[in-house]
Amino acid sequence: MAFVERVFSGVQPTGNLHLGNYLGAIVNFVKMQETHNCIYCVVDMHAITMGMDVWGGPAELARNTREVTAAFIASGIDPKKHIVFNQSQVSGHAELAWIFNCVARMGWLNRMTQFKEKAGKDRENASVGIFDYPVLMAADILLYRATHVPVGEDQKQHLELSRDIAQKFNNDFGDSIRAQGANDGLFFPLPEPLITGPATRVMSLRDGTKKMSKSDASDNSRINLTDDADTIAQKIRKAKTDPEPLPSEEKGLEGRPEADNLVGIFAALSGRAKADVLREFGGGQFSSFKNALAELCVAKLAPIAGEMKRLVADPGHIDATLNDGADRARAIADETMKLSKDIVGFIRRR
């Protein structure tokens, strides 16, 4: 079957969006609009897999869902030409996840490193949802039979699992799929991860070996899209570094994760290569480089923050955008669910 090329990706409304989400995902979302039909989802059902202390409770979840939507639009995603919606409005995500729960194997999920990181030592107390997160993610993508998924580096393993689930479904139900008219026995595409763009893994400002994350307890570990100029400058000034001056060549960043991260952020925001950044700043102290980085961050993020502020001031408009996106997403999702149910052998209302 020749699948129509379609892009799907999602962001969790678990707190303030940060520079990692922006450079690792949203910048690519914006770019993909030029060449593909895109579906961008605020994955609120994923957000509640963590404890309520992480996602903040009902009022905070709704606030964050609107804020992520505003960040998408403020960064340049066009919700009229493409689809922007929140996951819980389309019931097919949960329905397909159940079918996939019966396709995926425990052994596959047991290998997921993100579950191990997020559950930490207290695995017995982790929600079933956090263990099942990658299955819901496969359902998110395959509900739209999406072929391409722009994500940050941290999602690579989950994307591989989505491909395994798609493949096993196609194999397990091959005869039934053929009986529905697809002679090649392929119902779901194997989605391709698109891990490209300016910075696929932005690290914490407090620890260059840990990724920048919304749920990190320290707000100083990340630059939020909504931080004001003073806060950005202060966080960059406080960012962990080492006592050596900046190297003049990229090789000199080896074994210096914090320096590498800051130079990587500068390169990504300015659209330059790291080597080029080091040609300008190499040999100098961190303090002057940090000033230049803070200025650059503010110049790039302030317009987005300003537009987000304007958008969230009108929640009715954001909700209307999400409703419209959900209606258009549902039209595609319903068709996939109808066919999936026929393939599995569920009797449905006709």
Helix crossing, 128-142 with 156-172: angle to 10°? 70
Give the one residue of 152, 193, 247, 264 binding ligand AQP; rule: CB under 6 A: 152
What whole-number distance in Å separates Cα of residue 221 and Cα of residue 239? 8
CB 64 within 8 A of CB 18: no
Give the one residue of 6, 7, 8, 20 binding ligand AQP; rule: CB under 6 A: 20
What whole-number distance in Å separates Cα of residue 197 and Cα of residue 150? 9
Q: Which stretch binds ligand AQP (CB under 6 A): 150-158, 159-167, 266-274, 330-338?
A: 150-158
Joined tokens for residue 236 = 């960059």
CB 155 within 8 A of CB 133: no
207 makes contact with ligand AQP (CB under 6 A): no
Using CB under 6 A, count the residues that bind ligand AQP.
20
- What sign for the dihedral angle of Cα 256, 257, 258, 260? positive
The answer for residues whose C-beta is within 8 angstroms of residue 257's C-beta and 6 or more apart is 203, 208, 209
For ligand AQP, the closer CB: 11 or 337? 11
155 makes contact with ligand AQP (CB under 6 A): yes
Could you write out the DSSP letters of every residue in 285-322? -HHHHHHHHHHHHHHHHHHHHHHHHHHHT-HHHHHHHH
Q: Which stretch binds ligand AQP (CB under 6 A): 76-84, 97-105, 180-188, 207-215?
A: 207-215
We find the least distance from the C-beta atom of residue 171 to ligand AQP, in angstroms, to be 28
210 makes contact with ligand AQP (CB under 6 A): no
Which residues are known to be catalytic?
A: 118, 211, 214
For ligand AQP, the closer CB: 51 or 291? 51
- Which strands form 192-194's sheet, in the order they lie side by side? 83-86, 37-42, 6-11, 148-150, 192-194
215 makes contact with ligand AQP (CB under 6 A): yes
What whole-number distance in Å separates Cα of residue 23 and Cα of residue 30? 11
Site string for ligand AQP, 25-54 (x = CB under 6 A): x-----------------------------
148 makes contact with ligand AQP (CB under 6 A): no
236 makes contact with ligand AQP (CB under 6 A): no
Residues found near ligand AQP in the complex (CB under 6 A): 10-12, 14, 20-21, 24-25, 151-152, 154-155, 200-202, 211-215
